[in-house]
Structure 1
């Protein structure tokens, strides 16, 4: 049984991390047995080193940065971090399960993912402050004392600035909606008739927003109305892969 390493929230068993959601969706979609092990932010580096998962990037000072998601597969002894690398590993190691990166789509998926990371610049000023209240004290303190801390204000924008930036966020999602509109005739998913890693990458950010604000929040209620209800429908299409094991 694969072990998936995730960051806990103040509500036991409630997963929130958008990047880990990409892997959770992937495992559920492929029907691969796994269990979740919860790791607070300050313990991520030690955990990755313990299981042999490599670092995923470097800090400005050149020191390695270890991140989640990470997995350990005891059937092969492999430990990996980074959601797209995990997706490639799962496709190669479990070839009889549905493909996350179907043949012929690898280049376009990597290109889409690179562009997608840059598409939502207004997101962070709302989502990062929204995440802080659901972190357990060790993880919240870690956020505030690392280099990421100064980027996370205690509160999201307010007043006229909030309205302006919220409208910008809607426009950012509108650009993504425009991309997805062009493929609607080919099927309900981004690549057509079957889900792929791209669907899970997009859904990871959307479900993050739903979880940090809550189903009944003003923010989520607003997002549900954007672009003819596209984003709520997007999550509902993937709802059967939301199980937290």
Structure 2
């Protein structure tokens, strides 16, 4: 069956940047599955597959449609059990839920303080108005004001990564010697920042930086194929 992954892009359709789409893309590579990608801007998402979801990623596998990155990972695990496991059992699935909760409540908000204006600037013109209006309403301020003090927010973010740092300084991945979906969850957040914004915050020599670089090299350099924002 043909597999298609729908991903979020900006003006440059060769640069998918959504953290959730990267989780799904890495999960597909982890499983060793062949797939094609289709792209959409923010305002095009409601048109995908007849409006099946308000969010991406969306996976089409033959006649099956699955939305949400974690649901996609669970679907791949259940549908292709003979391929490398994303969770290595129910305990790994539950722990991945915890990692996702931590990432989305700790890392994502911090990265938004760095990158939200750069994300806007990289969007197609048709999406910029939607993005600015929706984000400024949610944030209660302008995008420019929201990122104005981002340099002062680097140290707090690096400190918040200490749980990850403590693990990957002792082992290659959260999954041990090889990655699991938990790795792709956090990788997706940092890849979002790498692709969407030229603002750099991971210091050289940090174990988190070394882990991120290992993740970029996974699956024949899948993550590294999209250059960092310049």
TM-score normalized by structure 2?
0.83
**Shift in Å at residue 141 of structure 1?**
2.0
| Aligned counterpart in structure 2 of residue 118 of structure 1, from 105, 108, 114 | 105
Q: Secondary structure at 1:36's aligned position in 2?
A: strand
97-106 vs 119-128, greater mean Cα deviation: 119-128
User: Retained in 2: the 8 A contact 1:206–1:231?
Assistant: no
**Shift in Å at residue 126 of structure 1?**
1.5
Deviation by residue 1:175-203 (Cα, 9 ceiling, x = unmatched) = x3334414654x31102122111111111
Tell me the equivalent position of 2:84. 98
User: Retained in 2: the 8 A contact 1:9–1:135?
Assistant: yes
User: Retained in 1: the 8 A contact 2:165–2:207?
Assistant: no
Tell me the equivalent position of 2:163. 178
Tell me how many residue pairs correspond in the alignment: 215
**Shift in Å at residue 235 of structure 1?**
2.7
| Aligned counterpart in structure 2 of residue 164 of structure 1, from 152, 165, 182 | 152
* Alignment partners' CA distance in 2, 1:96 and 1:114: 28
* Alignment partners' CA distance in 2, 1:207 and 1:182: 19
Deviation by residue 1:5-40 (Cα, 9 ceiling, x = unmatched) = 111222231121111111111111211111111112
Tell me the equivalent position of 1:154. 143
33-42 vs 82-91, greater mean Cα deviation: 33-42
* Alignment partners' CA distance in 2, 1:143 and 1:10: 13
Q: Which runs of 5+ in 2 are unaligned?
A: none
| Aligned counterpart in structure 2 of residue 210 of structure 1, from 176, 189, 194 | 194
Structure having the higher helix fraction is 2
**Shift in Å at residue 67 of structure 1?**
0.4
